[in-house]
Structure 1
Amino acid sequence: MCYDQGAKLPYKVIGGEPVPVSYSAEDVFSKIKHDQIKFIDLQFTGLRGRFHHTTISANLFTPQQMQDGLPKLDGSSIVGFASIEDSDMVLKPDPTTFAIIPWMGNAKTARLICDVYWGKDKGRLESDPRGIAQKAEKYLKTQGFDNSYWGPEVEFFVFDKITWDVLTPYKGQSYSIESKEAPWNQEGKGYPMALKKGYYPSTPADTLTEFRNDCVECLNEYFGILCDNHHHEVATAGQCEIDIRYDNLTNAADGAQTYKYVIRNIAKKYDKVATMMPKPISMDAGSGMHTNVSLWKNDKNMFYDKDDKEEVSQIARYYCGGIMNHARALSAIVAPTTNSYHRLVPGYEAPVYIAWSPSNRSAIIRIPSHFKGEKYSKIKRIEFRAPDPSSNPYLVFAAVQAAGLDGIKKKMDPGDPVYEDIYKMTKAQRVAKGIKDLPATLGEALDELENDRKFLAPIFSNETIDRIIEIERADDHEISIRPHPHEFYLYFDI
């Protein structure tokens, strides 16, 4: 897939590593003129995690609008933002997010991610997810740290075609997934993968290598999101993962949102469809968004301790303790859909049990342990395995930060690490070790968030949490009142 080579994002080298150039407002207007940009796509994220946009003519875009924002948003039309009687909002572009969109054709278009403000100089919209992420970064500094680094591992599916029928419920409800890689493929061509047998297959069984190559090229060279690895994931029918480089909290969330945006658009170019739905295929692995985090102060990774057996500092342990203590409430934010809880079941490499461990993927928190020694101190981190890609990364990172910092502040000890395969333990063995379960349903997770929300107060307003709960309760109700097709198989002759 060929893109305009002149539009690529320049890099500089810091500490021997490539870093994408960050544009100032002046740089943006210079690029608009130099690259003959015709349109500017103003992008922002809603509370549910969906990317939204409006497009303006580049020749009408002014430095004053960059500074003060553009009156382009009816907040009542974005779920969770505002009511209709007070809905005038302003989009303020962030010049550091400028990127040329390479697939937009003859009319050159660039994007800018925006912060959302109330109109009439009433300040920042409290439920703007990007604002919540930025608030989390500011709160971190009040707790004695300089920065945090976040690396989401976003998994997704790419199908040849998917159809569903839910609008004619009295005729039945159904969905259909088509994929050349799937064992139910009827074409008789290719090398279908069995359920849960899709990890790292070679071509030609892996039909999406070129697709992922194009995604990586686009992310690296046009959007400044560095990718160091991509591969087919465990599930059949086109499950993929592209690993993106860690960054600070807000930048990492911008990156995760851009990642989803790029993947969907390049899938369209291939006449395919990509989905971040956590569990589209029954009896197979689901898609996660494992979230890696470390805290830094004075250029030092505060999660590393060379004198500890596992090289894990006490600060990191307390951070784990905070996540574990609030894990059931966090579920409503990091696994925010009814479909999320089809993924969070034993037997599919998804975390179910609230425990921590080095290397052990059956625990909700894993401490990656590929390397040891001080020369690898900078990569010591916590991997929180509960989030999935249907979640809003701005909210996920902010909520996890709140939980972890609450653990540090209150010295919440996570207990001993668990080295055994928790999936193989009996319930009695788990109880003896104090290992609790994540919620089994979205409704249960929302009940937990209702009762355990105080830890979020330094970052999330109470009104924002209420809106999250209200939105997700509506989804839970939508599913609970409808019969499932499999229920006819189980119960029709009862």
Structure 2
Amino acid sequence: MTEQWSFMPDALATPAGLDLEAARAFLKAHKVRYVLAQFVDIYGTAKSKAVPVDHLDELVAEGVGFAGGGVNGLRLAPHEAEYIVRGDLDTLKLLPWAPGYARMMGTGIVGGREHPIDTRNMLKAQVARLAERGWTLNTGIEPEFSLLERTADGSVRPFDGTDTLRKPAYDYRGLSRVRVFLERVTESLKALGIDVYQIDHEDANGQYEINFRYADALTSADTVTLFKMAAAEVAHELGAICSFMPKPKSSFTGNGMHIHCSLADASGRNVFHDAGDANGLGLSPLAYAFTAGILHHAKALTALLAPSVNSYKRLVVGRTASGTTWAPVFIAYGDNNRTAMVRVPYGRIEIRVGDSGMNPYLAQAALIAAGLDGVDRALDPGAPHNVNFYALTPAEVRARGIETLPRTLCEAVEELEASDLFRTALGADFIDEFVTLKREEWGEYHRHVSDWETQQYLTFF
């Protein structure tokens, strides 16, 4: 590795509780010339303006203006008020892969008010609902990704050309031969004070996962956004493509983004944990009710956690070389059961529906809304299912009273549109905008004639 990537852990971490004067001193000490004023669009894609560091005061006090009509999903017309991003000093981070640059997330404001269709604002609103009850949602988000390269004919293949095993999960060689990329991303994150604790080769050729320590929901979403930026830029420098596409190849497992969830009280105690749980899952009555809410709203929730046409190539009942897709479509929960939509790793829950194409702000806002509905209505998730659903026939699954998730984006969007809960919790304007955009995406896909169709039907009739 080159010296420029040999960062000490926490060496570039932003001190806590910065005021403007301390922030200016911090940026000067690290020779920062520009601060990226950032937000995400409806898809969770980072958007930015570069602000010269001598205008930091304006970014924090007044904000930076954007033409909202040029951004997906803000529902702003060209003649309407500007979309303003007012920087939040608590989110200030250096960008080790881009010396001289830092980033700052902000609050999206339109007409002097927080814009309700800004998905980061939406998550903050749901977090505030939890805070009213003395709770904080802690989440550990696990983004999977594919490290690829483009070939001369325009197709893509694993960046490591020797990564060809039929079952490559945890393979030493697959991990070692892309170590430059993995180390550069990991060292960048750790230098910023983000605790990376595991790195592995996943189930598909060219597929990896970098895990960082759990945090409150808003911090987790900000970290995922930063991680995607780092991974994309480091890959680009190496001549690779870091893809978060849910299903890059039909024969491989897809890129999931599992979310581990627990609620903490004001003292930091995990109130999802109960050692006396009769089911042996370590869950409290609160955790069961929260889980029940997620299961109850699972079909509509899927549109927000698996938000693309491609997502539903991952969410299928079927087999890959490893024997499973690792993307369960069964609306159920169980003890360490990776074939159910919700796994219980003891004392917390893991939502396995989401993929790496999701917006982490939107996804977590929706999970809070669904979970709190379960708590408020004291819903019961029923008994846990500790069975391999992939080994059951469809009739056997139905006999257990288990339904499945939507099979296409079109079906999922219809469920979301019909959901009174999400229309109320996330806002009718947002749901209408999301549904409109996703129906357009589905329509474009549905009208496209694929290579499979040409091969299948050209001379068939």
TM-score (norm 2): 0.92
2:132 counterpart of 1:160: no
Contact 1:331–1:438, Cα closer than 8 Å, also in 2: yes
Which residue is 1:465 aligned to?
A: 431
* Among candidates 79, 84, 93, match of residue 72 of structure 2: 79
- 1:279, CA displacement in angstroms? 0.1
Contact 2:119–2:361, Cα closer than 8 Å, also in 1: yes
* Among candidates 295, 299, 304, match of residue 333 of structure 1: 304
Provide the rounded CA distance (Å) in 1 between the counterparts of 2:407 and 2:387: 22
Which residue is 2:129 aligned to?
A: 139
Contact 2:5–2:187, Cα closer than 8 Å, also in 1: no
- 1:22, CA displacement in angstroms? 5.2
Aligned with 2:341: secondary structure? Answer: strand
Contact 2:293–2:371, Cα closer than 8 Å, also in 1: yes
- Going from structure 1 to structure 2, the CA distance change for 1:44 and 1:339 (only over 3 Å counts) comes to same
- Going from structure 1 to structure 2, the CA distance change for 1:490 and 1:306 (only over 3 Å counts) comes to same
Provide the rounded CA distance (Å) in 2 between the counterparts of 1:456 and 1:297: 28
Number of matched residues? 449
Structure 2 spans left out of the alignment, 5+ residues: 320-324
- 1:162, CA displacement in angstroms? 6.1
Q: What RMSD, in angstroms, separates the aligned Cα atoms of the two structures?
A: 2.1
Pairs within 5 Å for 1:291-310: 291-299=259-267, 300-308=269-277, 309-310=280-281
Deviation string, structure 1 residues 215-261 (Cα, Å, up to 9, x no partner): 11101113x3221100110001x101001111111111101111111
Deviation string, structure 1 residues 269-314 (Cα, Å, up to 9, x no partner): 2111101100011111001000111011242211111111221111
Provide the rounded CA distance (Å) in 2 between the counterparts of 1:435 and 1:206: 41
2:334 counterpart of 1:365: no
Which residue is 2:84 aligned to?
A: 90
Aligned with 1:231: secondary structure? Answer: strand
Deviation string, structure 1 residues 363-384 (Cα, Å, up to 9, x no partner): 0000014xxxxxxxxxx21100
- 1:90, CA displacement in angstroms? 1.3
Contact 1:180–1:192, Cα closer than 8 Å, also in 2: no
Contact 2:142–2:211, Cα closer than 8 Å, also in 1: yes
Corresponding letter in the other structure for 1:405: L
Aligned with 1:437: secondary structure? Answer: coil
- 1:411, CA displacement in angstroms? 1.3
* Among candidates 48, 58, 67, match of residue 53 of structure 1: 48
Provide the rounded CA distance (Å) in 2 between the counterparts of 1:3 and 1:133: 36
2:194 counterpart of 1:225: yes
- 1:29, CA displacement in angstroms? 1.3
Provide the rounded CA distance (Å) in 2 between the counterparts of 1:6 and 1:485: 47
Contact 1:11–1:20, Cα closer than 8 Å, also in 2: no
Corresponding letter in the other structure for 1:79: N
Out of 334-343 and 427-436, give the one that drifted further.
427-436
2:126 counterpart of 1:126: no
- 1:5, CA displacement in angstroms? 7.0
Deviation string, structure 1 residues 424-474 (Cα, Å, up to 9, x no partner): 11222211211001000000000000111324523x111011111111111
Provide the rounded CA distance (Å) in 2 between the counterparts of 1:323 and 1:162: 42
Pairs within 5 Å for 1:264-343: 264-299=232-267, 300-308=269-277, 309-343=280-314
Deviation string, structure 1 residues 396-448 (Cα, Å, up to 9, x no partner): 00001110110111111111111110111122221121100100000000000
- Going from structure 1 to structure 2, the CA distance change for 1:11 and 1:318 (only over 3 Å counts) comes to farther
Which residue is 2:322 aligned to?
A: none
- Going from structure 1 to structure 2, the CA distance change for 1:307 and 1:60 (only over 3 Å counts) comes to closer
Provide the rounded CA distance (Å) in 1 between the counterparts of 2:5 and 2:174: 29
- Going from structure 1 to structure 2, the CA distance change for 1:276 and 1:177 (only over 3 Å counts) comes to same
- Going from structure 1 to structure 2, the CA distance change for 1:193 and 1:432 (only over 3 Å counts) comes to same
Deviation string, structure 1 residues 168-218 (Cα, Å, up to 9, x no partner): xxxxxxx6112254xxx6xxxx35222xx1210012675222311221110
* Among candidates 90, 112, 127, match of residue 104 of structure 2: 112
Provide the rounded CA distance (Å) in 2 between the counterparts of 1:411 and 1:60: 51
Provide the rounded CA distance (Å) in 1 between the counterparts of 2:73 and 2:439: 13
2:17 counterpart of 1:28: no
TM-score (norm 1): 0.86
- Going from structure 1 to structure 2, the CA distance change for 1:473 and 1:462 (only over 3 Å counts) comes to same
Provide the rounded CA distance (Å) in 2 between the counterparts of 1:35 and 1:180: 33
Which residue is 2:447 aligned to?
A: 481
Aligned with 1:353: secondary structure? Answer: coil
Contact 2:147–2:207, Cα closer than 8 Å, also in 1: yes
* Among candidates 163, 168, 178, match of residue 157 of structure 2: 178
- 1:316, CA displacement in angstroms? 0.8
- 1:146, CA displacement in angstroms? 2.3
Provide the rounded CA distance (Å) in 2 between the counterparts of 1:325 and 1:60: 48
Corresponding letter in the other structure for 1:318: A
Contact 2:7–2:188, Cα closer than 8 Å, also in 1: no
Contact 1:92–1:116, Cα closer than 8 Å, also in 2: yes
Structure 1 spans left out of the alignment, 5+ residues: 13-18, 165-174, 370-379
Pairs within 5 Å for 1:443-462: 443-455=410-422, 457-458=424-425, 460-462=426-428
Contact 1:232–1:240, Cα closer than 8 Å, also in 2: yes
